Chains A and B, each alone.
Chain A
Amino acid sequence: MKLDPSFIWTAFLQILSAIPTTLYITIVSVLAGFIIGLAVALIRIYRIPVLYPLAVGYVTFIRGTPMLTHLLLIYFGLPMLIDGLAVQFGWSFRSVSIPMIGFAYISFSITAGAYMSEVVRSGLLAVDRGQMEAAHAVGMTTPQALRRIVFPQALAASLPNLSNSVIGMLHGSTLAFTVSVVDINAKAQIVASTNWKFFEAYLAAALIFWALTFLIERATSLLEKRINLYNRGGVL
């Protein structure tokens, strides 16, 4: 093996084709994760009886175990569950018809959900309780107060964490190669092993990830400026 700097560019061009897959996984898991996270956070904040311990257990379990184990558990567990139910209820649907990327979507959404719930929760808790009381005092209902007063402020407070989560999921999507999804990492592996130039291929992949992360960070900081417009400090 000899270092071949020009191959970095060749690999770079080949790996570019896998960017959409990585972005799909990231976007799907972040969006689905946000919905799960919002539900879990609200359950935890309002301490809804039966759901509360379940939500706590879910967050603890997911945050305490590696993302890889979630993926493996879903990949091997879900087909068993689906096929078992299918036999019992006579469905024609079988787990074989789930595309590989489906497992990545489901598993990463579940992972993102737990982390997102913490982001949402800390964002909501960062909003002063008095804001809610003031909204009630002027006659808003709780859903109105949440939507008009609390959520916009919570969003502004949790934007940096949100951006971290998105970057975390982007980086986490590299695990999809374990279920044979060809994302940036898997593509780099293919390019590396077919040309026997590992270092160059992974360097190209690293550069792509670096650029994507940088773009996400830039975009968030722009958004942060926009969303914090209301926050010009107090009267004093």
Chain B
Amino acid sequence: MGAPFDFSFIITYLPKLLTTLNTTLLIVICSLLAGIVVGFVVALPRLYQIPVLKTFAEIYISFFRGTPILIQLFLFYYGLPELMKLVHVDMTRTPVLVFVILTYGLHTGAFMSEMIRASVKAVDRGQVEAAYATGMTAYQAFSRIVLPQALAVAVPVFSNLVIALLKDTSLAFTLGVMEMTGKAQTLASLSQHFIETYIALALIYLVISYTIERLLLVAEHRLLRHEAQPSPGTQTFTLLKNGSYRQIIAHMGSSKGGGGL
């Protein structure tokens, strides 16, 4: 199986794989944006308990969280054109990338909506009441008081979601998209140097996800400035406990279902 191990292939294949990095990043960024929009739209009916829409939102989230992304990819790729045929829209010329981005967007949207809901709910209800008491309008209270706090809670979860999305893009090759994994498989089977190619591939993914994690960690620290622990002497026990408790919850509830692909 394959040619003998040759370290130099890792080095020669790194730049070759990097040429397809922009396809991977394009998928990540487009579906992330779509996911944020979808996430907000889906989170609102659940936050405000709107009767019928709430049920739809719940089914949507349950489906996208309850089925593997790979199955969703195939489902959309094969199913959407047929459904569109029923309303006389021809999708045979639509590029595959559109289906990929649509699927990842809807998939991430489900997780995003959960993230948005959880982080808005993590902000103490008393904060809103206090804001009202000082005479703020509902909009002011949300944008000045709730949003900044919710954002800080959301960042670790968001970071995990972006990394999970990045790793999920490795499945786009199943529909024939030439992103990094697809390129790696082509290079590997051409040269029969499988391991070297996949090591190079893994290294690229590792560097990108590490970078994303670092960047978002910086963002998190910046957003949590208001919770920066003052000198130990002045801090009361309950405050400290509340702060750390919220951080633990944010970190614990953040996994996108262990495998994350």
Contact = CB atoms under 8 A, between A and B. Distances in A.
Do the two chains belong together in a single complex?
A: yes
A111 interface: yes
Contacts of A52: none
Interface string A107-120: 00001100110110
A171 B69 contact: yes
Interface residues of B, number: 48
A9 B8 CA distance: 52
Contacts, number: 167
A182 interface: no
A167 B168 CA distance: 15
A169 B258 contact: yes
A56 B145 CA distance: 38
Contacts of A115: 255, 258-260
Contacts of B201: 69
- DSSP majority for the B interface? helix
Contacts of A185: 68, 70-71
B195 interface: yes
Interface residues of A, number: 57
B210 interface: yes
B257 interface: yes
Given A68-B170, A118-B255, A209 B67 contact: yes
A139 to B, nearest CB: 29
A125 B245 CA distance: 12
B2 A60 contact: no
Interface string A169-203: 11110110000000001001100100000110011
Given A80-B1, A119-B258, A213-B66, A202 B248 contact: no
Given A65-B202, A80-B2, A3 B86 contact: yes
Contacts of A169: 258-259
Interface of A: 1-3, 60-61, 63-69, 72-73, 76-77, 79-80, 95, 111-112, 115-116, 118-119, 122, 125-126, 157-158, 160-161, 164-172, 174-175, 185, 188-189, 192, 198-199, 202-203, 205-206, 209-210, 213-214
